Amino acid sequence: MKHFHLTEELAQEITGAGRVEQLFAALANATGRMGFDHFALAFDRRGNDGASMLVHNYPDAWAKIYVGFDLGAADPIRRAGERSVTGFQWRDVNRYIPLSRGDRQLLNVARESGVGDGFTVPRHLPGEASGSCSFAVSPRAALPADMLHAAEILGAIAIASARELIGSSPLRPRPVLTERQRECVLWSARGKTAGEIGDILGISEETVVRHLKMARDRYSVHCRSMLILCALFDGLIGFSDIYDWWRPN
């Protein structure tokens, strides 16, 4: 791989960071060596403690706007990262999500504040953790195209290092559903009514209603949508179980 030795050198520096300050310094060095101007590493651990990390060297103007207005939830780059398993250039974000007028305005404000195009490496574990590492250039600069493979590797390593510094989520007991309850949740996630589920499984509608109520009780939720969401996060059912069944041939 081109730039193999540089990538290996920078990876060792990032991996060896034992404190947040060292991780910041290692990422700042990697950013400059690869030909980028800015970086941002974000990692959020789900759970009661809500532990998180954010290290960056974005221009003060953009950092104040982004943090001050709490734009993380509306950030189209973050949303696009949830739709990608590999790094992506910001210029291609509309390939992953539809961009609203507000999204375009946000990206324009970032450019006006000193942040141009970028490359983001996402990592997500639904219900457990979410992280991303972005490398960006100034508005008039071009992305160092020959360094994107290195950025992909180093971004993933940086996210792993952030997770090590924060620590993994404490194990929590997960509700246990019976096989019949899981089947009812699955068919409910596929949009079937209790009566339709009963016909599919060969049981009465009342029995289906009872199974779904017991499943909600075990998750301590009160509606079907939250039950489905919890089951997806816990891996009790998978997104492919729903999408592949629903998707037209």
**Domain end marker among 143, 166, 189:** 166
Kindly state whether residues 162 and 183 are assigned to the same domain.
no
**Pair (9, 68) in one structural domain:** yes
192 shares a domain with 109: no
For residues 159 and 228, membership in a common domain is answered with: no
Domain limit, last residue, from 127, 144, 166: 166
pLDDT at 31: 98
CATH code for the domain of 68: 3.30.450.80
Whichever domain contains 191, its CATH number is 1.10.10.10
* Entry pTM: 0.78
Tokens of 236: 């009790």
Are 48 and 148 in the same domain? yes
- For residue range 111-144, list pLDDT tens digits in order: 999 999 999 999 987 767 889 999 999 999 999 9
Specify the number of domains making up the chain: 2
Same domain? For 13 and 103 the reply is: yes
165-209 pLDDT per residue, tens: 987 655 567 789 999 999 999 999 999 999 999 999 999 999 999
Domain hosting residue 123, numbered range: 4-166
Mean pLDDT for the chain? 90
- Say yes or no: 211 and 146 in one domain: no
Please name which of 196, 185, 198 lies closest in space to residue 229, comparing C-alpha atoms.
185
